Amino acid sequence: MDSNSQRFWLWSRPADWVVAEGCAIVPRDAAHGGVEEVLSLASELGLPPMIDGASRLASAETELAMLPLLRDRFGTYARWDPRPTPEGPGGSLMGFGAFPGEVPRYATTAPGAPTAMALDADDRIVFAFADRVELFDPRDRHEPVRLELPPLFTPQAAACDARGGRWLLDRNNRRLARLAGTPFPERGDVVRDAGTFRPQPENADDARLELLPEDLLDPALRPVALAASPLGRLAVISWGPDGELHLNVFDGLARKDAILEGAEYAHAIAWLDESDIALRVSDLAEALVYAADAPGPQKPLGRRYPSADAAAGGFVASQDWPPHLPLVRPQDVPDAPDDATFSRALVPLSWRGFAATGTAQGHTIDTQSLDLVWHRVYVEAVIPPGCGVLVELRATDDETFSGAWWPHWFGDASASQADLPAGIPRAAWLACPSELPHHASLLGCAPQANRVGLFGALVQRAGMQLRELRGRRLQTRVTLFGNGRATPQIAALRVWGDRFSYLRRYLPELYRDDPVYDRTAGGDATRHDFLERFIGLFESLLTPLEDQIAEARVLTSPSSTPPDALDWLARWTGERFPSRLPTAQKRAWLANAPLLRRLRGTRGGLALALDIATDGAVSLGRIIVLEDFRLRRTLATLLGIDLERSDDPLLPGLVISGNSFVGDTLTLGDADDALARAEFLALFGEKIDSEAERETVASVYERTAHRATILVHEGLDEDLIAMVRNLAEEIAPAHVLVKVMAAREPFMVGIASLVGVDSWLRAPIPLQVARVDQSGIGRGDRISGGGALDWRLDDSSGLVAFDGAPRAHLDAAPIGDPGGNLLLDGRRSEPPPDGVIARWRFTRLSAPE
């Protein structure tokens, strides 16, 4: 309510709108503040370019049978070579990409070529065969695992997410399965005593195939491909009649269904992120992208993802999001040039497409006031060049609406695709962020003249003699107009009433014309009506000024005063903000100023100041303020634990002396350490019996008096730690020495934790790959084996400059039978430049003496 007692009604939430075709509720750009979702034109793709001479159905069947390229986290690749070898009658996996040429990576001894391949989050490769599934570890943590298939299940497609999930699809039997579990690493050097207790089975979560419920997929459709998102969501596409494409998205066993228009006979699917999926269609020169969670029939989103340079087939099987497109067919890899690029990420052009028009209707308002005169309409919006917004209003005192819609135009007049009626009110752009006094814009971004910000218009009935719009109930309808490349975005729509009329309040009755004219008569406005609207120009300037004066109290509240007025408000109370304090923390500092004044100079005051400055890090236990005397420990002798670390304040290495206890009375410690015994008995005895004990206690507290330590646990960024140091220096009392130290361990039961003093609980820190000059041995980071698909990247010999001389490399399988045949493989040998290996000569050397 403003200073003239006018009320307003707001449409800003998604639930406030019923969107029709061409309109959508979309999330805002993450860089903006304000509301999270806005009313916008729907993203829409024009006719995608076609590939000449391609037959969609015939090509789709062919490309479904193609195996994908594999791409690992190192950027090397692998393909399945179907040519039989002595090691693999069904072919072998060939690695490439690190150096010119390709090398063998894996071959299965069983017959047959795989029908699908995928790379999981832990660098293992899943191979699906007609009669089995194999799990191969390029990092050699365990031998290849071979699993038999369940009855009536033959996988032809596979996908892996970023959380360890592995999924398989049987197109013919319309079944899904999950490859669960993890094989134990091989530990060949471990010899266990026969009497040692061992679990049965040894690995309770061994690799296994688990069939998912049979009714997950529609039996009337033909599933053709699947994809897994980083967070483990599963998407399956299926062909219906005439190739109609159906999308199933699974969150666990819950399923969402949609029909994807324009993607008939799509043969490959991949997740762009957690909200959108991409499809490849054999006769299109670009990938089609759809929203994963939108119900009902969907059109492609209006961003173009060109794929004309991509090779036939699906997407590259990798742990990359967005996915990669193959640029070379697997069978063409041996003939590719040395500097070939084998894949690229699926990225959009800067071009975007939107529907030309779209309509949304707001929820109906019942004001409970008969014959209410509607005053002004305001819109907070982004209106790009060539775009516009038509806001239509109608009001009535009856239960049902039957009258005409009255239009109001916002934006470029040229954007309207229909002739606007003569005299239609056109909104003006306002420089203020909101007509509400001292309020920020719901758009959350800087205003831009005539394009971004607040737009307002006087509510009118264009073409009528009396142009006031009256009625208890109000309906709103918004039509957005775009240019195909851009869209208006509406964050909020507000309509004000009952009109505060200067004419009726301040001028004689002879200027009023209510009883004289018919309110339903059309034509030019009466002179009295014109005067009403003309005086409204002055009201539009004076009312905001009156509102700002009436709401001046907002400026004196820390929670609502503008950011640039916070320092001015702080000076009213004699406060001075610490340096580098963000705006939100400045507001909290002012709100707690009385309590900070009362606690100044105390440990509680320092803790409160740090808690405000760090947005609750002290309350959460991430920062702990301690007086140094509380850091003394009574644990100095812990068997098997190194307590000599002096670089970590949560280990007793900083403590001069102490003791360990077993039970209530037994003390373990050095009996000859008289000082430690005296300190312990003096500090923790029931009473002080002598002057010597009193002096001992005094000496302990003297060493720790007027000193405080701020423990900052791991996980806080460097800027925040620097702010903590500066804040401690600024607000700590002059006679107190304060130091800031980093603490590694959050909680060490029975070793170094003083519960409620210096310990906290947190989620485990994810393991990372060990980094030079950053990781500590035994501190959680791990050294990960190579496991590149092109093993030459892991072999140091491949990094040595080639001097031109030929090199021989022999590989041999382990000898099973001393009297049997020995198979030698020399394919890793390197010929001289521009040469070839014409023949092999093996020389048997005598055993060394």
Q: Which of 29-43, 257-271, 742-756, 768-782 has the lowest mean pLDDT?
A: 742-756
Mean pLDDT along residues 95-112: 90
> CB atoms < 10 A from the CB of 302, how many?
21
Q: What confidence score (pLDDT) does residue 410 get?
A: 95
Are 471 and 371 contacting, i.e. CB atoms less than 8 angstroms apart? yes
Question: What CA–CA distance (Å, rounded) separates 583 from 575?
Answer: 15
* Amino acid type, 813: A
* Amino acid type, 495: V
Q: Measured at the alpha carbon of residue 516, what is the angle toward residues 515 and 522, in degrees to the nearest 5?
A: 110
Cis preceding-peptide flag for 322 (omega within 30 of 0):
yes
Better pLDDT: 845 or 556: 556
Better pLDDT: 332 or 662: 332
Tracing tokens 């209530």 back to the chain, one arrives at 664
Mean pLDDT along residues 112-123: 94
Identity of the highest mean pLDDT range in 5-14, 412-421, 664-673, 688-697: 5-14
> Which residues have C-beta within 8 Å of that of residue 460, sequence separation ≥ 6?
406, 408, 425, 467, 468, 469, 533
pLDDT tens digits, one per residue of 148-186: 999 999 999 999 999 999 999 999 999 999 999 999 887
Are 528 and 512 contacting, i.e. CB atoms less than 8 angstroms apart? yes
Question: What CA–CA distance (Å, rounded) separates 534 from 477?
Answer: 27
Better pLDDT: 73 or 723: 73
What the block records as the tokens of 240 is 């219906």
What are the b/e assignments for 754-774, b being 16+ CB within 10 Å? eeeebbbeeeeeeeeeeeeee
Q: What confidence score (pLDDT) does residue 657 get?
A: 36
Q: What confidence category does residue 759 fall into, taking pLDDT thresholds of 50, 70 and 90?
A: low
Dihedral sign, Cα of residue 555, residue 557, residue 562, residue 565: positive
Tracing tokens 């040998």 back to the chain, one arrives at 829
Q: What confidence score (pLDDT) does residue 389 get?
A: 95
Q: What confidence category does residue 681 fall into, taking pLDDT thresholds of 50, 70 and 90?
A: low
User: In the 8-state DSSP scheme, what is residue 150?
Assistant: P
Residue 680, pLDDT above cutoff 70: no
pLDDT tens digits, one per residue of 809-826: 777 766 666 666 777 777
- Phi, psi of 392, deg, nearest 5: -115, 135
Are 269 and 226 contacting, i.e. CB atoms less than 8 angstroms apart? yes
Q: What confidence score (pLDDT) does residue 758 get?
A: 47
Whole-number average pLDDT of the chain: 82
Better pLDDT: 191 or 533: 533
CA distances from 524 to 373, 503, 528, 793 (A): 20, 20, 11, 83
Helix or strand (DSSP H, E) at 701: helix 691-704
How many residues would you count in the chain? 849
> CB atoms < 10 A from the CB of 30, how many?
7
Closest CA to 269 of 226, 303, 310: 226
What's the first-to-final CA gap in the chain, in angstroms? 103
Residue 664, pLDDT above cutoff 50: no
Residue 544, pLDDT above cutoff 60: yes
Identity of the highest mean pLDDT range in 570-584, 756-770, 786-800: 570-584
Q: What confidence score (pLDDT) does residue 520 get?
A: 85
Burial of 343 (0-12, 13-18, 19+ CB in 10 A): buried
Q: What confidence category does residue 775 fall into, taking pLDDT thresholds of 50, 70 and 90?
A: confident
Q: What confidence score (pLDDT) does residue 659 get?
A: 37
CA distances from 133 to 118, 156, 169, 211, 835 (A): 11, 11, 12, 13, 40
Question: What CA–CA distance (Å, rounded) separates 300 from 258?
Answer: 12
Residue 473, pLDDT above cutoff 90: yes
pLDDT tens digits, one per residue of 789-810: 998 887 644 444 455 677 777 7
Q: What confidence score (pLDDT) does residue 639 get?
A: 35
Q: What confidence score (pLDDT) does residue 817 get?
A: 63
User: In the 8-state DSSP scheme, what is residue 338?
Assistant: T
What the block records as the tokens of 390 is 């038509």
Q: What confidence score (pLDDT) does residue 579 get?
A: 78
Helical spans, DSSP H, in 452-602: 502-506, 527-550, 566-572, 583-591, 593-599
Cα atoms in the Cβ-side hemisphere of radius 13 Å centred on 89: 4
Q: What confidence category does residue 734 fall into, taking pLDDT thresholds of 50, 70 and 90?
A: confident
Helix H, strand E, coil C: the string for 264-296 is CCCCEEEECCCCEEEEECCCECEEEEEECCCCE
Q: What confidence score (pLDDT) does residue 778 get?
A: 62
Question: What CA–CA distance (Å, rounded) separates 228 from 233?
Answer: 6
- Phi, psi of 239, deg, nearest 5: -95, 135
Question: What CA–CA distance (Å, rounded) separates 563 from 585?
Answer: 11
> CB atoms < 10 A from the CB of 73, how many?
16
Q: What confidence score (pLDDT) does residue 678 get?
A: 61
Crossing angle (nearest 10°) for helices 603-613 and 718-731: 150
Question: What CA–CA distance (Å, rounded) separates 499 from 547?
Answer: 15
The most distant pair of C-alpha atoms in the chain lies apart, rounded to whole Å, by: 129
Question: What CA–CA distance (Å, rounded) separates 591 from 578?
Answer: 15
Mean pLDDT along residues 759-772: 63
> Which residues have C-beta within 8 Å of that of residue 285, sequence separation ≥ 6?
48, 49, 50, 51, 306, 307, 308
Question: What CA–CA distance (Å, rounded) separates 269 from 272?
Answer: 10
User: In the 8-state DSSP scheme, what is residue 539?
Assistant: H
Q: What confidence score (pLDDT) does residue 628 get?
A: 75
Are 346 and 287 contacting, i.e. CB atoms less than 8 angstroms apart? yes
431 SS3 class: coil
Q: What confidence score (pLDDT) does residue 671 get?
A: 45
**Long-range contact pairs involving 247-255 (C-beta distance under 8 Å, separation at least 24):** 247/277, 247/290, 247/292, 247/298, 248/216, 248/217, 248/218, 249/292, 249/293, 250/216, 253/212, 253/213, 253/216, 255/216
List % helix, strand, coil for the chain (3-state, nearest 5).
Answer: 20, 25, 55
Mean pLDDT along residues 380-388: 93
Q: Which of 169-173, 340-344, 653-657, 822-826 has the lowest mean pLDDT?
A: 653-657
Question: What CA–CA distance (Å, rounded) separates 720 from 714?
Answer: 12
Q: What confidence score (pLDDT) does residue 630 get?
A: 67
Mean pLDDT along residues 519-541: 87
811 SS3 class: strand
Mean pLDDT along residues 754-766: 53
Residue 832, pLDDT above cutoff 60: yes
Helix or strand (DSSP H, E) at 684: helix 674-684
Helix or strand (DSSP H, E) at 740: strand 737-743
Q: What confidence category does residue 660 fall into, taking pLDDT thresholds of 50, 70 and 90?
A: very low
Residue 614, pLDDT above cutoff 50: yes
Mean pLDDT along residues 374-393: 94
Q: What is the DSSP string of 360-400?
A: EEEPPEE-S-TTPBEEEEEEEEE--TT-EEEEEEEEESSSS
Crossing angle (nearest 10°) for helices 603-613 and 583-591: 140
Q: What confidence score (pLDDT) does residue 3 get?
A: 76
Percent of the chain with pLDDT over 90: 39
Question: What CA–CA distance (Å, rounded) separates 692 from 678?
Answer: 9
Question: What CA–CA distance (Å, rounded) separates 356 from 724?
Answer: 53
Residue 452, pLDDT above cutoff 50: yes
Residue 527, pLDDT above cutoff 90: no
Q: What confidence category does residue 652 fall into, taking pLDDT thresholds of 50, 70 and 90?
A: very low
What are the b/e assignments for 474-484, b being 16+ CB within 10 Å? bbbbbbbbbbb
Residue 470, pLDDT above cutoff 90: yes
